[in-house]
Structure 1
Amino acid sequence: MLSALAAAFALAVAGPLQTGEAPDRYSLELTVIHAGVQTVGARAVLVEDSSAQITVQDVDGLFEMNAQLTPVQGDGDDDTLALTVSIIDGEAQPFEPNLILKRGGDASIVIGQEGPDGVMFEGLTVTLKPLAEDD
């Protein structure tokens, strides 16, 4: 599926939340759309300076996503994080987007093709959002 998704690739990163200290735990959500239908919907908690994995196996094969969220070193800015993602869809070539975001900020990776109605027809979305302390 990923080999067919090269038609569109978009990243969006928002700034940090304006509420006290930035959280060190994030919600990592994965949504996969195939032929206009959501086939995968998964969520994991990703803690700063650690990794998370989402694996789904169905009749079409194995789909795996590994994500790592680490502080960026060496630039003097303690508020910068790097999100590294590896997405494997069966035997297809892995897709490995990386992005930099502000600690406490939201990030989104969208890869896919839209149908004539402007709605994603084939693709995936990875979303990272900070969790509140009580989540």
Structure 2
Amino acid sequence: MASDNNNYVQPTIPRFDGHYDHWSMLMENFLRSKEYWSIIETRIAESAAAGEVLTAAHKRVQDEQQLKDLKAKNYLFQAIDRTILETILQKDTSKKFFGFNEKEVSRISQSEACTASSPPQRF
């Protein structure tokens, strides 16, 4: 039985390469396979209002959702380059993070392409 476990290959995290539509499909599939997609589709239950006491079961469910959200965000952080991460303003939940604006991504990708293709300036 132990040899069966050695044949398991860990899936790689899809890296964002500037093509949002393609990457989002790959990333959705990846997160579904890890069972984290539900946290992207729905929001985390809001914290209790001030002074409201949570039941132990409700607190446990909320903690589990927050942990799943952190795990999903971890994968998203690994998938996106630092220069693009710096432009994403909404990083507090994985749902907001995953839904970063496609237009923003296109703008960043185009500006990087222009910078890379422009001739060096002489001073």
Normalized against structure 2, the TM-score is what? 0.25
Name the one with the larger strand percent: 1
- Relative CO higher for 1 or 2, CA cutoff 8 Å, sep ≥ 6? 1
Q: Whose radius of gyration is greater, 1 or 2?
A: 2
